[in-house]
Structure 1
Amino acid sequence: MEQVRIFDTTLRDGEQAPGFSMDLDQKVRMAKALLELKVDVIEAGFPVASPGDFAAVKAIATEAADMHDTFICGLARANEKDINAVAESIAPAARKRIHTFIATSPIHREHKLRMSKQEVLEKAVAAVRQAKDMADEVEFSAEDAIRTERDYLVQVFGAAIEAGATTINVPDTVGYTTPQEIEDLFRYLIANTPGAEKAVFSAHCHDDLGMAVANSLAAVRGGARQVECALNGIGERAGNCALEEVVMAINTRADFFQLTTQIDTTKLYNASRLLSRLTGQDVPRNKAIVGDNAFAHESGIHQDGMLKNLQTYEIMRPADVGAPTSLLVLGKHSGRNALADRARELGHNLSGERLNEVFEAFKQLADSKKNVTNDDLKSLILGHAMNASGPWRVAGLKTGAERDGHATAHVTLTHQNGTVHTHEARGNGPLDAAFSSIKEIVGLDVHLEDFSVKSIGTGIDAQGWADVHLLDNSSENEMVVGGEDSVDRRPRIHGSGVHTDIVFASVIAYLDAMNRIVRNRAQQS
């Protein structure tokens, strides 16, 4: 069957959405999962946007230096500076793509660009010509294509293909279209664009009206052979087309679409959960494909049908997407091999030092819980995979309550240089006091913007997963713009921690965010 390319923009369109930012280490970790997922293209970022974005794209390109199944791509506006930045950042990759774009709709031409049709056309052609000699492939996007005149799209796309574009993207930038409309548009463009047979047509749909996946699938029916999407559907505003949903729709209904993808669907669940942990944003329970309820059945009628034949109420098997179906029963007497074997069943290959670290954490957890579940083990694995390394680690924590309702926290931290630091602080509660002690020891001026703790599993001995988001008050490269339209541009740093003691989990999360700030500054210096 003919293949549909999967263009993943989790690390570009997805990551730039409020609440989903990741630092360099987190982006590389996510990129590794995307490579394991076998996406066709990873849009790793917008290199000209910031030194951090440039560094992240280059690090991901380096990670893919020997990967010949996946293109590493960077986004560029239709200008020389942007395109040069992309070319430089993706240079280490085995397969390189430059994605350049310019808006084409009347509202964008008039109010944003203040350019004529001819000027937009000339900018598009010049950008593609520059990019074609700097990468293996060039993708051209007409921003807000859905609200652009059809005859003008044909003109711009034909010129871009003639200039060297190998992929033509038709974005529904504001999530405005409908399935029937976009299918008809793709049929029209492919039939009327000069040189259409030389390029792959691509769909990039946003979810403002809740139809991103439906519109993407309709575009495929209309001839699109690339879909631009993001894990968990993250992205600007209401998000993008959800990668896991569009892939499993094509996979499950191959009889209807008569198409396939190269995605390893058994990696979808773990990739989704990794993204959730990295960003601190939960996957809704009722989320299609990867939500906790996707393969759960409570209705007695449904349960009866499932006992007789699983296909009565499941059109996919949990194993098809890598979702767990059984409880893990391991205890303090279990060994490394048992742990590694069960982790492998859950889609994580542990070995060497990483296995030792997770095993040590597992033994500590097993001492405080009767049974360790699948969710517990996944949290341990993901926690060790994504927590920032050094320079600070928690060595001790003691909290106490005072008669006036306040609390004290005595915190001991170790530094990677071997020194030990302690501080005791007083606060409105144990967390307030502990966070104050950490701030004093580490010496960073930060503001706690957001904090949450959630349970992993059920029962009184369930672990707690803590997430914090800190604002770096002392960033030298950012500023706060005052006035009625003030925009807070302080870096927002995420940290996470797991422990059966929710206070200790919160301290780990707070210090994890602190470590990220320290590492970010070291990388920038």
Structure 2
Amino acid sequence: MTEHNRFNHQKYLPYTPVALKDRTWPDQVIEVAPRWCSVDLRDGNQALIEPMSVNQKKQMFDLLLEVGFKEIEVGFPAASQPDFDFVRYLIEEDRIPDDVTIQVLTQARPELIARTYESLKGARSAIVHVYNSTSVVQREKVFKTDKQGIIDIAVAGARVVKEHAEKAPETDWHFQYSPESFTGTEVDFAVDVCNAVIDVWQPTAEKKIIINLPATVEMATPNVFADQVEYFCRNVDRRDAVVVSLHTHNDRGCAVAAAELAVMAGADRVEGTMLGNGERTGNMDIVVMAMNMYSQGIDPTLDFSDMDKIVTVVKACTQIDVHPRQPYSGDLVFTAFSGSHQDAIKKCLDLYQEGSTWEIAYLPIDPRDLGRTYQDVIRVNSQSGKGGVAYVLQSKFGFNLPRWLQIDFSRVIQKEAETTGQEIAADKIWTLFKATYLHDQQSVTLDSFNFSKSGERETFKASLTCFEQTLDISGEGDGVMDAFVEAIKEATDIDFEIMEYGEHALGQGADAEAVTYIQLKNGLQRHTGVAISRDIVSSSLNALLRAASQLIEESRQRNAA
């Protein structure tokens, strides 16, 4: 076999679309959330290398209740003893809230249906979910039967389901049928099979049944699935007595999109798993679909406000990691490393007023809604710019750097990131900031000062330690800072001016410290000073002196040369 033949697209046939020329779903808009059913404990569990233990199932069930699911498929009790025992535990230990209905799955085989009802004995309310495969490939190559043979299997199973329910009237029974591999079934034949089941169950608008349409294998683009669902909804019998449900898999990576379009096409209910665990490439991720609605101002009826807990529990129960970029739940989904992204996010957040409409660049939802913090939003590496560094210093340490200082300090961070090749953590950014602007190793320090006012002029006198020698200075100006500048210039014979000045409190209250940022200009050279003190005057004077000391040291070096 040649290398070319190993990758041969010609052995695949294109999917035949539905002939639905008057489709209406593209004009629909989702305005309310569908009914949700979690299948984490059944479909999600059977896809695990190591199925959940009883304790893990209990933990997962409690999480599903906490999130707000009202319908939960808890197992396939006829297929395994652990599933049977777990269903019995939920019922016998009264673990099912009154407003929650459990669902169990069974094939359309009499002995399995009987075992299923045995597991549900004493349940207040339950959905019995029965299925048989209807697709062309299953019909022809697995069951080796014709269409009528498939209908006969479905009808026989539906009758047995109904008979067992009639024997246990103390339970509020709900029936669900799935034409498994719906996407591989001729859509008109899928309607025929479901209509035959409906005819057995005789649902009413007051006592509806569920017809679940599984994309057991995702075989076409989401719009084709939506066409199938719209065709089905138009042609199924007793539509007012039928809840049309979806169960999409993710073979093509479009399970969420397929479910969204199918809801637009008329579906009422959606099955899936939290974080998308399931056979092959997974089930439809309910977190993603529900949060997509949330981002459009729609109540998803599920609560994902503690996303970190959800991720932790699901990972512990499934032993499957969550990709850091998985929508909404990944560790990095709200994180920007790009400098332009960071700058835009910071500027939007600076303008955002609590309670107003959320309109923040690059953030479709507020990370706090999922229990995340803004510290998760911006992280710094070699691709980052001044905005990201400034955001970290402001959000974590309270320093609101002026733009000129953002530019100055970002060069320090850029160099560190390029040297190490790693992300620069917030604490490391703070360490570098202190080492660059707040270090104690100064050649010139302010020992004491006083100032007095005469008319509109300030007189400033101070004692400095300048290169281990005492230097007394004095000057006059229009204000304290102006007088201090004149005093230094006169004592050192160095000409400079203040180009940039900024100050703010670090925190709130009377005990809050003040920080001052100053940039001096001497010819073409710029020098930065930053200082922190409990009063703004001391902070300003020390910031000025930090910048001026750099000028004085450079002057001494030039003179020595």
> 2:177 aligned with 1:140, yes or no?
yes
1:236-278 Cα distance to aligned partner (Å, 9 max, x none): 1111111100111122225xxxx65321232444223211022
> 2:109 aligned with 1:79, yes or no?
yes
Q: Which residue of 2 aligns with 1:208?
A: 251
* Cα separation, 2, equivalents of 1:119 and 1:268: 47
> Taking structure 1 as reference, are residues 321 and 95 closer, same or farther at Cα in structure 2, changes over 3 Å only?
farther
Deviation at 1:167, TM superposition (A): 0.6
> 2:93 aligned with 1:59, yes or no?
no
- Which among 353, 371, 382 is matched to residue 322 of structure 1? 371
Q: How does 1:129-168 map to 2 (within 5 A)?
A: 129-132=159-162, 133=165, 136-164=173-201, 166-168=209-211
Q: How does 1:299-448 map to 2 (within 5 A)?
A: 299-310=338-349, 311-323=360-372
Structure 1 residues 99-108 or 75-84, which shifts more?
Answer: 75-84
> Taking structure 1 as reference, are residues 220 and 32 closer, same or farther at Cα in structure 2, changes over 3 Å only?
same
1:48-90 Cα distance to aligned partner (Å, 9 max, x none): 1111121123223456655133221111000122222222323
Q: Which residue of 2 aligns with 1:283?
A: 322
Amino acid at match of 2:107: R
**Contact residue 90 and residue 96 of structure 2 kept, 8 A:** no
Q: Which residue of 2 aligns with 1:511?
A: none
* Cα separation, 1, equivalents of 2:365 and 2:247: 26
Q: Which residue of 2 aligns with 1:32?
A: 62
> Taking structure 1 as reference, are residues 263 and 225 closer, same or farther at Cα in structure 2, changes over 3 Å only?
same
Q: Which residue of 1 aligns with 2:269?
A: 226
- Which among 283, 294, 300 is matched to residue 261 of structure 1? 300
> Taking structure 1 as reference, are residues 62 and 314 closer, same or farther at Cα in structure 2, changes over 3 Å only?
farther
> 2:264 aligned with 1:197, yes or no?
no
More relative contact order, 1 or 2 (CA 8 Å, 6+ apart): 1
SS state at 1:214 partner: helix
* Cα separation, 2, equivalents of 1:270 and 1:324: 14
**Contact residue 291 and residue 300 of structure 2 kept, 8 A:** no
> 2:35 aligned with 1:5, yes or no?
yes
Amino acid at match of 1:320: D
* Cα separation, 2, equivalents of 1:61 and 1:321: 32
* Cα separation, 1, equivalents of 2:339 and 2:49: 39
* Cα separation, 2, equivalents of 1:151 and 1:264: 38
Q: Which residue of 1 aligns with 2:283?
A: 240
> 2:141 aligned with 1:111, yes or no?
yes
> Taking structure 1 as reference, are residues 47 and 238 closer, same or farther at Cα in structure 2, changes over 3 Å only?
same
* Cα separation, 2, equivalents of 1:160 and 1:306: 54
Q: Which residue of 2 aligns with 1:183?
A: 226
* Cα separation, 2, equivalents of 1:176 and 1:244: 23
Deviation at 1:126, TM superposition (A): 2.6
* Cα separation, 2, equivalents of 1:12 and 1:34: 13
* Cα separation, 2, equivalents of 1:204 and 1:322: 29
Could you say which structure has the larger radius of gyration?
A: 2
Q: Which residue of 1 aligns with 2:51?
A: 21
> 2:88 aligned with 1:49, yes or no?
no
TM-score by length of 1: 0.58
SS state at 2:102 partner: strand
Q: How does 1:472-491 map to 2 (within 5 A)?
A: none
**Contact residue 234 and residue 240 of structure 1 kept, 8 A:** yes
**Contact residue 33 and residue 290 of structure 2 kept, 8 A:** no
* Cα separation, 2, equivalents of 1:304 and 1:63: 54
1:73-129 Cα distance to aligned partner (Å, 9 max, x none): 111000122222222323454431111000111211122222322222122123223
**Contact residue 232 and residue 242 of structure 1 kept, 8 A:** yes
**Contact residue 61 and residue 72 of structure 1 kept, 8 A:** no
> Taking structure 1 as reference, are residues 246 and 93 closer, same or farther at Cα in structure 2, changes over 3 Å only?
farther
- Which among 75, 98, 104 is matched to residue 128 of structure 2? 98
* Cα separation, 1, equivalents of 2:87 and 2:372: 30
> Taking structure 1 as reference, are residues 192 and 289 closer, same or farther at Cα in structure 2, changes over 3 Å only?
same
Amino acid at match of 1:32: D
* Cα separation, 1, equivalents of 2:288 and 2:98: 25
Amino acid at match of 1:261: P
> Taking structure 1 as reference, are residues 97 and 239 closer, same or farther at Cα in structure 2, changes over 3 Å only?
same
TM-score by length of 2: 0.55
Amino acid at match of 1:304: D
Q: Which residue of 1 aligns with 2:216?
A: 173
> Taking structure 1 as reference, are residues 94 and 305 closer, same or farther at Cα in structure 2, changes over 3 Å only?
farther
Identity across matched positions, percent = 32
* Cα separation, 2, equivalents of 1:89 and 1:232: 28
**Contact residue 121 and residue 156 of structure 1 kept, 8 A:** yes
Amino acid at match of 1:224: A
Deviation at 1:162, TM superposition (A): 2.6
Structure 1 unaligned spans of 5+: 328-372, 374-525
Amino acid at match of 1:231: M
Deviation at 1:44, TM superposition (A): 0.9
**Contact residue 244 and residue 268 of structure 1 kept, 8 A:** no
Give the ranges of 4+ consecutive aligned residues of structure 1 lying more than 3 Å apart after TM superposition. Answer: 60-66, 90-94, 322-327
* Cα separation, 2, equivalents of 1:268 and 1:161: 40
Structure 2 unaligned spans of 5+: 1-30, 204-208, 350-359, 377-426, 428-561
**Contact residue 187 and residue 222 of structure 1 kept, 8 A:** yes
* Cα separation, 2, equivalents of 1:94 and 1:213: 32
**C-alpha RMSD over aligned residues:** 2.2
Q: Which residue of 1 aligns with 2:550?
A: none
* Cα separation, 1, equivalents of 2:100 and 2:374: 31
User: Size of the alignment, in residue pairs?
Assistant: 324
SS state at 1:47 partner: coil
> Taking structure 1 as reference, are residues 308 and 25 closer, same or farther at Cα in structure 2, changes over 3 Å only?
same
* Cα separation, 2, equivalents of 1:226 and 1:243: 12
* Cα separation, 2, equivalents of 1:296 and 1:274: 22
Structure 1 residues 74-83 or 17-26, which shifts more?
Answer: 17-26
Deviation at 1:218, TM superposition (A): 1.1
